[in-house]
Amino acid sequence: MRSFKEEFERYDWDEVSKSIQSKTKEDVEIALSKDKRNLNDFMALISPSGKYYLEDMARMSHDITRKRFGNTMQMYCPMYLSNECQNICTYCGFSLDNKIRRKTLTGAEILEEILSIKAMGYDHILLVTGEANKTVGMDYFRMALPIIRPHFSHISIEVQPLNQPEYEELIELGVNTVLVYQETYHQTEYKKHHPKGKKSNFLYRLETPDRLGRAGMYKIGLGALFGLEDWRPEAFFTALHLQYLERTYWTSKYSISFPRLRPFSGGLPPKVEMTDRDLVQAICAYRLLDEEVELSISTRESEKFRNHIIHLGITSMSAASKTNPGGYSVEPSSLEQFEISDERSTKEIATMLLRSGMEPVWKDWDRSFQ
């Protein structure tokens, strides 16, 4: 059965990197002059030469986003169900080799979290767990989702990769979106960051969006963890993956997230720095490549950065996030997966958006229109 693996193996990381670095200002100008851009144009937009055209890219990205999405910002809230994990990941606070107290929410504790999140106005929830199949596998989801589903119009999840029949069951249980980040598309370096656990299987993770597409998932989220490797080839391979999926599973919607490596207890410093200007360049390049894809920014980023990026292509953002299980009501001070940067309340974020001429949208979609 065909998968992204075939497309991926046609490209070499080092050759892609050299191609991006070789792009000239003329290549960028050609890309900007087009109505529809391809992956070669995308390389030019994310290249070092592209940084000289950042104002042009930002203006065009803003115009395209407003035309397609209007003056709206989709609001979502992450709810961490568990920090139990069987993987060793060099960058994650939940890694198996971190000696922390593990916590998985019970049904009663899930309901407490729901009440706290609903009180903030959210109708779009992102459920997050560590990757521990025996503890937070399908049996746990069969328990948790019937509790959660009546309270939210849209349920996203970010959990361990699963098989196609399991994704089909999750759809029946009320899941609308699955986020699965490759972390890094550099296959050799991937193993260094994931030395133990099921996550160490690079190709199984790489083909997860294919299983989601075949299952008929409404929306599929992609992304790389910027900081593990050079952000430019990471951005290219994410774009390559996105275009393959859009061609192959054209009934699904797609989103891209932009997590930059953030500190955690005893954590890994970024191998390659991605500056704020670099991140703006990447966001604008994705918007110029793809007018339809949803672009999401989390509370990993600073207050100042998020205040500005909302005008340049972003269509979805979180606020008042807690990255530990029970963080909203049960255990507000327990270990977080990573440190957030923007600590403003949901009300403060909503006020900022309104003052900026944006409308915060709390309800993503309605099942009656499915």
Average pLDDT of the residues in 261-283: 81
CB 28 within 8 A of CB 49: yes
Residue pLDDT, tens place only, 35-66:
999 999 999 999 999 999 999 999 999 999 99
Give the whole-number percent of the chain exceeding pLDDT 90.
78
Both tokens of 194, joined, read 């994931």
Which amino acid appears at position 184 of this protein?
Answer: T
Q: Please, how many CA atoms are within 13 Å of residue 74, restricted to the half-sphere of its CB?
A: 21
Tell me: pLDDT of 118 over 60: yes
Between the CA of residue 326 and those of 12, 130, 135, what are the distances in Å? 43, 14, 16
The 10s digit of each residue's pLDDT in 200-232 is 999 999 999 999 999 999 999 999 999 999 999
Query: SS3 for 74?
Result: strand
Instruction: Report yes or no on 369 lying in a domain.
Output: no
pLDDT band with cut points at 50, 70 and 90 for residue 367: very low
Domain that holds residue 66: 4-363
Between 75 and 321, the higher pLDDT residue:
75
pLDDT tier, 370 (very low <50, low <70, confident <90, very high otherwise): very low
Please check whether residue 311 is in contact with residue 295, taking contact to mean a CB–CB distance below 8 angstroms: no
Q: Categorize the per-residue pLDDT at 366 as very low, low, confident or very high, splitting at 50, 70 and 90.
A: very low
CA 34-14-275 angle, to 5 degrees, is 65
Q: Which of 5-9, 257-261, 347-351 has the lowest mean pLDDT?
A: 257-261
* 197 in any annotated domain: yes
Residue 370 maps to a domain: no
Q: What is the CATH number of the domain that holds 294?
A: 3.20.20.70
Between the ranges 3-12, 265-274, 319-328, where is the mean pLDDT highest? 3-12
pLDDT of residue 369: 40
Question: Stretch 279-297: mean pLDDT, rounded?
Answer: 97
Q: What is the CA radius of gyration of the chain?
A: 20
| Tally of domains in the chain | 1
Asked, for residue 79, whether it belongs to a domain, the answer is: yes
